[in-house]
Amino acid sequence: MNNIIASTVVKARELTAEEIKEIEHEKTHYPYTQAVGLEALKIVQKYQGWVSDESLLAVAKYLEIAPDELEGVATFFNMIFRRPVGKHVILLCDSVACWMLGCDSLQGHITKNLGIEYGETTKDDMFTLLPVPCLGACDKSPVMMIGRETYTHLTAEKIDQAIAHYRDGTPVDQDLE
Amino acid sequence: MATDKPLTKNIEEGRAPFNFKKYTAAGGYESVHKVVKMEPTDAVELVKNAGLGGRGGAGFNTGLKWSFVPPPDGGPRYLVINADEMEPGTFKDRLLIENDPHLLIEGMITTCFALQSNCGYIFLRGEYTDCEERLLKAIKEAYDNGMLGKNVAGKKGFDLDIYLHTSAGRYICGEETALLNALEGKRANPRAKPPFPQVSGLWGRPTVVNNVETICNIPGIVTHGVEWYQALGKGDYVGTRISGVSGRVNKPGCWEVPVGITFRELLEDYAGGMQDGYELKAFLPGGGSTDFLIPEHLDLPMDPGLVQKAGSRLGTSLIMVLDDKTCPVGCIRNLIKFFAHESCGWCTPCRDGLPWVEHILNNMEEGKGSLKDIEILDEMTRYMGPGNTFCALAPGAVEPLQSGLKYFMGEFEAHINHGCSYN
Amino acid sequence: MVKITVDGKVLEVDENNNLLEEVLSQGEDLPYFCWHPSMGSVGSCRQCAVIEYANDEDERGRLNMACMTSPREGGRYSIEKAGQFRAQAIESIMINHPHDCPVCEEGGECHLQDMTVMSGHTYRRYEGKKKTHTNQYLGPFINHEMNRCITCYRCVRYYNDYAGGTDFGPQASHDNTYFGRWQEGPLESEFSGNLAEVCPTGVFTDKPFGKQYVRKWDLQTAPSICTGCSVGCNTNPGERYGTLRRVVNRFNDEVNGYFLCDRGRFGTGYVNSDERITVSMTRASSDADPHLASPDEAMSQLHVMAVDAIGIGSPRASMEANFALRDLVGKDNFYAGVSANDLAMGQQILDIYRNRPVNVASIKVIEGSDAVIVLGEDVTNTAARIALALRQSVKNLGKKMARDMKLPDWHDAAVRQLTMDRKSPLFILSPHATRLDDVAANVHISSAEESARIGFAIANAIDSSAPAVKGLSKEEKSLVDTMADALKNAQQPLVVCGTGSFSPALIDAAANIATALQDGDKKANLAMVVPEANSLGLALLMNGSDQSLDQAMSLVADGDAKSAVVLENDLYRRAPADAVDSFVNALDNLAVLDSTQTRTGEAANLVIAAGTFAESSGTFINYEARAQHFYSVFKPKDSIRASVKWLSDQKLSEITAACASSITDCGGMANLTPGEDFNVAGMKVPRQQHRYSGRTAMRADINVHEPKQEQDEDGILSYSMEGVPATRDATVFNTAWSGGWNSNQSVFKFQSHTGGALKQASHGQCLIENNSKTKTWNEIEKDNAPEGDFAVFPLYHLFGSEELTARTPAIQEKATSAYIALNGDDAQKLGLQASDGVALEHNGSVPFIIRSSIKPGTVGVPVGLEGVNFRNLPDGIALEKASSWTAPEKWHAANIIASDRASSEGEA
Ligand SMILES: Cc1cc2nc3c(=O)[nH]c(=O)nc-3n(C[C@H](O)[C@H](O)[C@H](O)COP(=O)(O)O)c2cc1C
Ligand code: SF4
Ligand code: FES
């Protein structure tokens, strides 16, 4: 970072106290701050929903990593969102076991109900639908995640229930998870 | 009497994982107390003699791998646990971590003592949120009970820290050198070997990367000894492993099984056979990057050597069943799409070859293929074969395709003109 | 060395190199992309595949990348048998390539084209859509066309890993991998231009060239020497239709290797500038109207005037031009066109090179150093190529660590991984933060005077017979010990200094350190940067005389001279403006030979249209006292002539020979070219390619008769297509081109070993041989502390500080106008707000910036930028806030290092 002329038009956002606290905690895990880059992006994403240019620059400055290097890492990983996403991200597994058990038609169902294709966000910014590689629950296919929750043995009804839950707090049947 | 299910003895469906107290009451952390009384090199020798093969897919003798770490030079050396588990069809490490996190931690402590390492990382797939929470809790308990931190288990001078790193979704991070780059906060392109991680790994220091299940075997081996471990296997085979089945079977899942049982035993005795109305057409024996086998191979013991002779790899030993009502071309297309997307983009054949294959298979699905395309597909499987690419991702990616061309040529040809006839 | 067999041929190769490098060195063709001789191997592109056989029985072998293979004794390999794989690799690399060769600047000199042909891929089977990308604006130098990318990673490996850039990188992944900046904007590295040569296809191309584009084969080219600074990088500039189109690197393993800096590559636009003097002008007196003088008139006026004139030479003119002027006015009437202090420093350096037990360090030697101290010279801005070399020097520790582990040092990624942030020590003493600080072990901010003291103390700490320094603080002492230890323990220590600080004491200190490091046959390396392309040559030419510009001015002030001939020199850059004013006013006659209009020229009554480097031939002597010959690239219109042609009617070679024989240490100048009588089968070496197109039609819009080819009386090159291209003698290596290798990668075909010296050598000639083993010491001379509130130190800008390159549009886009730099507290004390200006004695008012590294009580003033004359300033000055002030339009805070920004205060 030392060597940068720093001629960027984007202005860094102020990191929040929570973000800084968590980043500082991560720093104690590694002998080099570079290793904290991805962790810090995840922390920022946890609080902000996604990683904006302003956030990326803030992390770069905070950790003294070149923003170009951080961008290279941010765009490499599937789960760092460099564009805004909805409040809840639906990750529908589209790998082979779930494909065999019909994830394509489940996607069709979501698309029909929410009006979004893979990569799109609902107009009310509530949901973004993304495909995700094998979620490691192939014995319970088809599978999806919303936020940090995993939903298995999916059916169209179960998906509707989960979506309703995230939309207005409707309780989800116990066996959904 | 020691258990015959050292990996899953504490696991019961629907029950929360043991906390430190319960885990210790059930005989946990014994291996740590035992190993700290040994010479580290003897512990390595012990594991080598046990004949434990790595469970990450390649099956290399674990103790032997450890023995390549050079003698201590005063600088740091690392143990890194590969818990990235993104291979399609693989869900065994999740089972172990989610249900018995202390087993992994115990294994790590014992291993670190053997490797004379003071630092271990768990590289966990970010989507495994339950695993994350449970591991964090277990690590904290271990610290609180003197199993981590300074003077582990009362052994003077044995200090150990274990950190959990959660990833952000890339299959290539499971490749051990790409994993190290990811852990260092870099783009997860693999590294050239040599130098091997044991010599120059994490931050250029000696590092051992092991799979979760591999390390979960260590407590048992150290506690109960080589003979006990070897007797666990069927016949001449040693130990147990987690195997499983997904697809249209009656009871999909994964179980700890004696090494050496046949595919049929797994499929019928454990997974309850095929669902009504579905016939077994073929199966991938160990994850999405292995070659298809067909019903005639069902009576093979699940042994890496024999599976290789049959034209595939045992891989992770979680088998994926292709039934007669599912399109093999579509199945391969799905896998190729995954691999093309997960290619890191470092080397040419994989980066540019897999999307080409995907393109052809997409066309075929729509009936827009040609005979020439089949030739190209065939050529591509060799182009991306072992040794031709920088890491093993692409060679693995083309395995279902090359065996698919062998077993389902008729289906490919049918797709050329008519597209997919499965619904 | 080991013996291996490649397709049946037995070769003897070096097992410490990789197989690709060795096979190429033997003249074989083996395609590659990601590998580069100066960047080592990473094995990503998979293009250099060969089959390696396990033993004599093995018939299948296994595929390996040659670039990642250490040749082993008795090893059996086949290039041929891996041909199909290489063709497949090219075919898949090409699936997204746009095939836009006809409109691509790389076309005709494209490594990708060459490799595609070589690999035998001709028929396209992929029928899908191609991927497309958005391009970025990367500043005035480099054009971006991502669709042509083949993802070989060479750009990042060069820009980031080799050149230390941080504002660039790979993004995304799989077949969507993208190379660029995270936000578009000008590339920050001073070496960005090399991307155009490093990229094997047309992703990164030379932007100014693109605006006046011609194909490689339509360029007339000749070996030249960059005039941007005193390093003397070797270049191949190219011309078409009378305009200079571009400059590319000309390989010289001892000097520039494969790389140039951006000043050198992009700074020659002034050759085509509107400000060029294209005709000679004369007037009776300095207030009369000028009128055009024909070449004959100009010539005779000049020679009449010269009879009783003094001559004023120039550090930016060739040896021959200076020598011819000296001859014309008489030795006693010849004055170096630089200040007494500048001349003395040049001679001081020569004295050190001649008499101290030191080696003068070439760039290659600098790259090989394993402990370096830089004293007060901001090499990134005064001799940029040295900065790039220093960046390589810090990697030597890593290479050593690798060798100790039996890891080959070409295994680039592995070596970097092993090394992490460990580096060979680089120490910097400077009055401000510099662009090399990121790789420095220690940066000590101190004035030239303090740095000299520390330097003397280091010498003393290494060798106690060197004069000791009294009164060092505890911190200074420990710093001195750290540096002394590191230098003493190094295998190849290096001291870098120069005239940039205008401090003779600093130069003495540097000489003492280097002297102290001598131990028997082991001598330390020393590099002394001087300001201009021929500064050291001019010092040599003065042959011990101290006739400086100061002396010429007092002579004229005393009325002892009434006429002066000034050679390629703007005296206002050399002395205070009022002194130059008095000088020119006191003269009856002033003749100025120059290529562009200057303030000195405006005062002249005879202005003579002189050629630039591109239209002249001659010799420059670089910072090492290395003499290098440059050839004119094209013949200018008759009204413009090389200075040496105006000044003398002798042949160039005669002048060179006379200079060589009459000036001490210049003997080596005589042997730089193969000689005028050089020819192959009676023919000269053509400047134009055999494929040069349209010769008969080029001027058809003016006249249908094809003009006679221009003659070159001076040398061994001809201004035509006829002749025998220079393959025999690399000193006339005017373009890298070989069968099947149309790109610059073909240079390996001209090298004795891939990456090594050219077969016939083109090193130039180091003039000073030094076998001294006697240690002599300089005593510490105390400078008087400067008067005034602020001690002034100079700031240099790669873009802007050099006179001629600053007249190039692309450089101007990167350059700024004058400003001063100071510490934040001082700014506060002066009551400065961000938008204020500062009144600078004798210089009007300028904007300011705050740099946190600058010490209170010191102020940095740029040298050579528009709007300030550094020479007007005493060592110490007062500053005050300017009343009623607006910032000039061309002002922007250029080249401020991020770590050096105290706050956003003062940024414009
Ligand atoms: C593309 C690719 C993905 C891999 N993914 C995993 C993985 O998710 N988990 C794992 O343990 N090993 C994975 N491996 C294997 C590892 O590279 C490595 O061999 C293993 O972690 C070593 O551990 P073991 O010796 O305990 O088996 C993968 C290999 C490749 C080439
Ligand atoms: S085979 Fe694929 S994943 Fe592996 S290095 Fe090459 S591009 Fe990356
Ligand atoms: S040059 Fe060898 S792999 Fe690229």
Lowest mean pLDDT among B82-91, C314-323, C770-779: C770-779
Instruction: Find the CB nearest B192 among C45, C172, C413.
Output: C413
| Best residue for ligand 3 mutational test, from C32, C118, C411, C754 (most atoms within 8 Å of Cβ) | C32
SS (H, E, C) C845-877: EEEEEECCCCCCCEEEEECCCCCCCHHHCCCEE
Q: What would the pLDDT profile of C189-211 be if each residue is shown by its tens digit? A: 999 999 999 999 999 999 999 99
Subunits with at least 3 CB pairs below 8 A relative to chain C?
A, B
Which of A55-59, B134-138, C356-360, C722-726 is predicted least confidently?
A: C722-726
Q: Tell me the pLDDT tens digit for each residue of C844-857.
A: 899 999 999 999 99
- The answer to whether B309 contacts chain C (CB < 8 Å) is no
Q: Which amino acid makes up residue B335?
A: L
Answer whether C65 contacts ligand 3 (Cβ < 6 A). Answer: yes
Query: Cis bond leading into A133, ω under 30°?
Result: no
| 3-class state of residue B245 by DSSP | strand
Instruction: Read off the DSSP letter of residue C440.
Output: -
For residue B401, give the 3-state DSSP assignment.
Answer: helix
Dist. CA C224–CA C226, nearest whole Å: 7
pLDDT band at C901 (very low <50, low <70, confident <90, very high): low
Q: What is the pLDDT of residues C385-409, one digit of tens each?
A: 999 999 999 999 999 999 999 999 9
DSSP letter for A130, please: E
Indicate which ligand has the atom closest to the C-alpha of B386. Answer: 2
B320: closest CA among B290, B296, B300, B297? B290
pLDDT band, residue A175 (cuts 50/70/90): low
Pocket test for ligand 2, best of B380, B391, B398, B399 (most atoms within 8 A of CB): B391
Name residues whose C-beta falls within 8 Å of residue C682's C-beta, 6 or more positions apart in sequence. Answer: none
Q: State how far the Cα of C41 lies from the Cα of C307, in Å rounded to an integer.
A: 63
Q: How confident is the model at residue C325 (pLDDT cuts 50, 70, 90)?
A: very high
CB neighbours of C112 closer than 8 A, spacing ≥ 6? C33, C97, C106, C148, C150, C200, C201
The three-state secondary structure class of C898 is: helix
Write down the pLDDT at residue C253.
95
Q: Which residue has the tokens 């390649």?
A: B58
Assess A47–B contact: CB distance below 8 Å, yes or no: no
Judge whether B344 is closer than 8 Å to chain C, CB to CB.
Answer: yes
Would you say the CB of residue B175 lies under 6 angstroms from ligand 1? yes
What DSSP line would sit under C533-553, residue for residue? TTHHHHHHHTTT----HHHHH
Contact B390 C85 (CB under 8 A): no
Question: Which pairing describes strands C49-53 and C76-78: parallel, antiparallel, or unpaired?
Answer: antiparallel
What is the tens place of the pLDDT at every residue in A80-127? 999 999 999 999 999 999 999 999 999 999 999 999 999 999 999 999
B338 token code pair = 């995954």
- The closest alpha carbon to C382, from C499, C495, C268, C269, belongs to C499
Looking only at the bridges linking them, the beta strands covering C563-567 and C309-312 are parallel
Q: For residue B228, what are its two tokens?
A: 């006990």
Buried-state track C187-200, b at ≥16 Cβ within 10 A, e below 16: bbbbbbbbbbbbbb
Please write the tens of the pLDDT for every residue from B248-285.
999 999 999 999 999 999 999 999 999 999 999 999 99
Burial C457-487 (b: 16+ CB within 10 A, else e): bbbbbbbeebeebeebeeebeebbebbbebb
Residue C574's pLDDT band, with cuts at 50, 70 and 90, is very high
Domains and CATH numbers, chain C: 2-92 (3.10.20.740), 280-340+540-701+711-750 (3.40.50.740), 359-523 (3.40.228), 790-906 (2.40.40.20)
- Average pLDDT in chain C: 94
Mutate to test the interface with B, among C34, C175, C403, C419 (most CBs of B within 10 A): C175
Segment 135-174 of chain B within 8 Å of chain C by CB? 170
- Cβ count within 10 A of residue C599: 15
Cross-chain CB nearest to B186 (options A73, A79, A97): A73
CATH class of B248-321: alpha beta
For chain C, give the percent of residues with pLDDT over 70.
98
Is residue C842 scored above 80 in pLDDT?
Answer: yes
Nearest CA among C95, C148, C147 for reference residue C121: C95
Judge whether residue C670 has pLDDT over 50: yes
Task: Give the full edge-to-edge strand order of the sheet including B253-258.
Answer: B253-258, B240-246, B318-323, B280-284
What is the predicted pLDDT for the residue at C905? 38
Please report which residue ranges of B285-327 form alpha helices under DSSP H: 304-309
Our answer on whether the CB atom of B210 is closer than 6 Å to any ligand 1 atom is: yes
Q: What is the pLDDT of residues C210-267, one digit of tens each?
A: 999 999 999 999 999 999 999 999 999 999 999 999 999 999 999 999 999 999 999 9
pLDDT for position C680: 77
Instruction: Quote the pLDDT of residue C745.
Output: 95
Going by pLDDT thresholds of 50, 70 and 90, the confidence category of residue C694 is confident
Chain B residues with CB-CB distance to A132 below 8 A: 127, 169
Distance from CA of C66 to the nearest CA of B (A): 12
The pLDDT value given to residue C904: 43
Q: How far is C53 from chain B (nearest CA, A)?
A: 14
CA–CA separation, B29 and C686 (whole Å): 82
- Most C CBs within 10 Å, among A7, A30, A33, A78, to test the C interface: A7
Mean pLDDT (whole number) for C345-356: 97
Overall size of chain A counted in residues: 177
Task: Say how many Å lie between the first and final Cα of chain A, rounded.
Answer: 45
Strand C618-621 to strand C234-240: parallel, antiparallel, or no bridges (unpaired)?
unpaired
Helix (H, G, I), strand (E, B) or coil at B317: coil
Of C93, C176, C420, the CB nearest to B204: C420
Q: Is the pLDDT of residue C895 over 70?
A: no
pLDDT of amino acid C288? 87
**How far is it, in rounded angstroms, from Cα C784 to Cα C761?**
48
Position with higher pLDDT, C445 vs A1? C445
B389 pLDDT above the threshold of 60: yes
Average pLDDT over residues C321-336: 98
3-class secondary structure, C800: coil
Please give the average per-residue pLDDT across B98-109, as a whole number. Answer: 98
| 8 A C-beta contact, residue B285 and residue B308 | no
* C-alpha span between B210 and B207 (Å, rounded): 10
Atom of ligand 2 nearest to the CA of B190: 5
Q: Is B353 on the interface with C (CB under 8 A)?
A: yes
The pLDDT value given to residue C906: 37
For chain B, the chains sharing at least 3 beta-carbon pairs closer than 8 angstroms are A, C
Is the CB of residue C577 less than 8 Å away from at least one CB of chain B? no
Query: What's the topology of domain B20-230?
Result: Rossmann fold (3.40.50)
pLDDT at C77 over 90: yes
Domain extents in chain B: 20-230, 248-321, 328-417
d(CA C796, CA C864): 8
- The candidate with the shortest Cα–Cα distance to B59, out of B275, B258, B280, B314, is B314
Contact C503, C448 (CB under 8 A): yes
The C-alpha atoms of residue C315 and residue C619 are separated, in whole angstroms, by 12
**Mean of the pLDDT values across residues C648-675?**
94
pLDDT in the model for residue C534: 98
pTM of the model: 0.96
Q: What is the pLDDT of residue C908?
A: 33
Q: Is the CB of B342 under 6 A from ligand 1?
A: no
Q: To which residue do tokens 């010498």 refer?
A: C459
| Cβ pair B405, B374 in contact under 8 A | yes
Average pLDDT estimate for C69-92: 97
Q: Do A36 and B185 touch (CB under 8 A)?
A: yes
Average pLDDT over residues C637-654: 95
pLDDT value for B316: 95
Instruction: Choose from C166, C190, C852, C901 for mutation: most chain A CBs within 10 A.
Output: C166
Would an 8 Å CB–CB cutoff place A27 in contact with chain B? no
User: Which run of H or of E encompasses C30?
Assistant: none
Residue closest to B9 by CA, chosen among B220, B191, B152, B200: B220
The whole-number pLDDT of residue C797 equals: 96
pLDDT for residue C748 is more than 90: yes
Which whole number is the average pLDDT over A16-41? 97
Give the per-residue pLDDT at A2: 44
pLDDT of A1 > 70? The answer is no
**C68 is written with which tokens?**
């990642």
Distances (CA, A) of A122 to A49, A118, A127, C742: 15, 11, 5, 54
> Structural domains in chain A?
2-76 (no CATH), 88-176 (3.40.30.10)
Look at residue A3 in the predicted model and tell me its pLDDT.
Answer: 47
Predicted local confidence at residue A8, as pLDDT: 57
Q: What percent of chain B has pLDDT over 90?
A: 97
Element of type H or E holding C503? none
Q: Which atom of ligand 3 is nearest to the CA of C20?
A: 2
User: How far apart are the two ends of chain C, measured CA to CA in Å?
Assistant: 59
pLDDT at A170 over 90: no
Percent of chain B with pLDDT over 70: 100
Give domain B328-417's CATH architecture: Up-down Bundle (1.20)
Q: What is the mean pLDDT of residues B32-60?
A: 96
- Listed by number, the residues of chain A in 81-110 with a beta carbon closer than 8 Å to a beta carbon of chain B are 91, 94-97, 99-101
- The mean per-residue pLDDT over the stretch C517-534 comes to 96
Helices B399-407, B371-383: axis angle to 10 degrees equals: 140
